[in-house]
Structure 1
Amino acid sequence: MKLIISLTILILSGVQISWSQPAIDSNRIIKVLSFNILHGRTMKGDFDLDVIAKVIIDANPDLVALQEVDFKTNRAKKYDLVTELGWRTKMVPLFGRAMDYDGGEYGEGVLSRYTILQSRNVPLPYYPGSEPRAALEIITILPSGDTIAFVGTHLDHQEDEKDRLIQARQINRAFAAAKYPTLLVGDLNAIPGSSPIEILEGMWSPSFGQEEPKATYPSDDPVKKIDYVFYYPLSRWRVLATEVICDTVASDHCAYLVTIELLMDEGVGANKSGQ
């Protein structure tokens, strides 16, 4: 198995580092992973879920957004993929349906080390002839007691970006009134600087800052970035590290791992449960 790992350590490019910055609080540091799992097929076509699970286990994330997740479809051998991966990784699984497909369902998956307090599945708009898409949100509590939202999504894959444009706008609308600091994670099928990404950047901040973003696709020779972690609001998050993990057997996508810190709320303290 060919394993390619590129690692970038960063503290939000464009933000000057000073001694007045708050110290890092380990209880507010989380690792989030975006991973398009190719409906569990693997590049060998053998549906070896242990290979996919190993990528996740080795990355050791706290929250995972999975794309191309099948739920009991014929092509995926009737596997409930997110539950199978949850069992293998010892994480809490959740599936969000985007559409019916091949005797089952197809959509998003989330894995969490933390308790899931609430969830909602937001349908995204699409034009006739295109595939339905969704954004799956969970509300969870960090070890620090802070409450955050985590959203996994997968935008349309077609060359024409018209679906991605309306889907990006709907994501901004759906989460504009977010009660908690929020992470948006997934395969957006759009490169940095494209119109869908610029729409999202009207609300969200990207994890790669001002440096050259690392390519995430295809896994055997990455040439473009289409897998992302965004955060909102800017004042509540600090990116500590990013990593692109390319397992050429597990999927056609590299997994994208971001280590990020939730900063204290300078207003009333923090968004903690029960407050």
Structure 2
Amino acid sequence: MLKILTVNLNYVQDGYGPWPERCARLRALLQAQRPAIIALQAVHVDDTRNQLRELAGDLDYHHQLFLAADTTRPQYGSAILSEIPLNAPWSFALPRDDDDEDQSPRRAIGASFTWQGEVWRLTNAHCSWVPAQNRQQVAALARALEDFSGPQCLVGDFNAPSTAPGIAHLTARGWVDAHACVGQGTGATFPADAPQNRIDYLFVHGCDRARLLATRTFPEQGAALSDHKAAMLIIAQPRETIETFR
């Protein structure tokens, strides 16, 4: 089975506890669940604080990718941790209107990886919370990912409910919302202490739906990891079945 987890770290903000405490909780989750790939948003990396290094620690995530959202703020961006080698890393600047309420620069990052003989592409996105800009960014993402012929996984903080136009745009183009397909309950991820909205997603494309085994959110109880819950997808190997998983 392949486990892919996504979580917004909320940088080193203390609203849900000091980062060292949140980091310890997230490391405990990684040790318990053993996702092969982790997509992170709102990551702080500089000479004084490297959330990526602190989180990976002595765990087996030897393949790491970090990209700042913008050169004017080089310490802030998105990242991928992986037990599986990452190949052909790439990035894509998400569009932004100069007069928009949300002026945060945003980039999607991604890489290819080989698992069970299949070449996959993983994309990690962190989209705007402003509805019009969100719709524009998700549409641009969909166009940018059209040229890949193999199976893909698109994950991250989309800052939009499942009823948003951008989410509908993706599903109309063949992207499968994994939680809508195999998840239990609402799958709400935000805010973490009293989740009401599902804004963190795990989409797949070019993969048989029968291979989607389950989605889960964390923590299931106890102190939060961030202002978002983590979301995880479990995918079967090409020859596995749901009966094997059970």
TM-score (norm: length of structure 1):
0.76
How many residues end up aligned between the 2 structures? 228
Superposed CA deviations along residues 81-100 of structure 1, whole A, max 9, x for unmatched, are 22332234320221022124
Q: How does 1:55-134 map to 2 (within 5 A)?
A: 55-72=29-46, 78-91=48-61, 92-100=63-71, 104-128=74-98, 129=100, 130-134=103-107
Query: Quick check: 1:69–1:82 contact (8 Å CA) kept in 2?
Result: yes
Superposed CA deviations along residues 142-171 of structure 1, whole A, max 9, x for unmatched, are 1x22211111111112xx311111110111
Q: Does 1:167 align with 2:137?
A: yes
TM superposition outliers: structure 1 runs of 4+ over 6 Å: none
Q: How does 1:222-241 map to 2 (within 5 A)?
A: 222-235=195-208, 238-241=211-214
Q: 1:200 aligns with which of 167, 170, 173?
A: 170
Percent sequence identity over aligned pairs: 25
Distance (Å, rounded) in 2 between the aligned partners of 1:46 and 1:70: 11
Counterpart residue identity of residue 128, structure 2: D
Query: Quick check: 2:8–2:228 contact (8 Å CA) kept in 1?
Result: yes
Counterpart residue identity of residue 66, structure 2: F
Distance (Å, rounded) in 2 between the aligned partners of 1:181 and 1:58: 27
- Residue in 2 aligned with 1:33? 5
Superposed CA deviations along residues 24-70 of structure 1, whole A, max 9, x for unmatched, are xxxxx201101111114451234443233223332310111101012
Query: Quick check: 1:237–1:262 contact (8 Å CA) kept in 2?
Result: no
- Residue in 2 aligned with 1:156? 128
Counterpart residue identity of residue 53, structure 1: R
Query: Quick check: 2:122–2:154 contact (8 Å CA) kept in 1?
Result: yes
Distance (Å, rounded) in 2 between the aligned partners of 1:229 and 1:79: 28
1:174: how far off? 0.6
SS in 1 for 2:134: helix
Higher relative contact order (CA closer than 8 Å, sequence separation 6+):
1
Distance (Å, rounded) in 1 between the aligned partners of 2:215 and 2:8: 17
Q: Unaligned regions of 5+ residues in structure 2, if any?
A: 240-246
User: 254-263 or 61-70: which moved more?
Assistant: 254-263
Superposed CA deviations along residues 206-234 of structure 1, whole A, max 9, x for unmatched, are 00235754111111111110111000125
Quick check: which has more Rg, 1 or 2? 1
Distance (Å, rounded) in 1 between the aligned partners of 2:176 and 2:198: 16
Query: Quick check: 1:68–1:108 contact (8 Å CA) kept in 2?
Result: yes
Query: Quick check: 2:152–2:207 contact (8 Å CA) kept in 1?
Result: no
TM-score (norm: length of structure 2):
0.84
Distance (Å, rounded) in 2 between the aligned partners of 1:63 and 1:135: 16
Query: Quick check: 2:6–2:39 contact (8 Å CA) kept in 1?
Result: yes
Query: Quick check: 2:151–2:207 contact (8 Å CA) kept in 1?
Result: no
Q: Unaligned regions of 5+ residues in structure 1, if any?
A: 1-28, 265-275
Query: Quick check: 2:150–2:206 contact (8 Å CA) kept in 1?
Result: no
Q: 1:88 to 1:165 in 2, by over 3 A?
A: farther
Query: Quick check: 1:216–1:222 contact (8 Å CA) kept in 2?
Result: yes
Q: Greater helix share, 1 or 2?
A: 2
Distance (Å, rounded) in 1 between the aligned partners of 2:209 and 2:188: 26
Q: Greater strand share, 1 or 2?
A: 1
Distance (Å, rounded) in 2 between the aligned partners of 1:190 and 1:262: 30
Q: 1:258 aligns with which of 224, 228, 233?
A: 233
Q: 1:190 to 1:93 in 2, by over 3 A?
A: same
Distance (Å, rounded) in 2 between the aligned partners of 1:137 and 1:237: 25
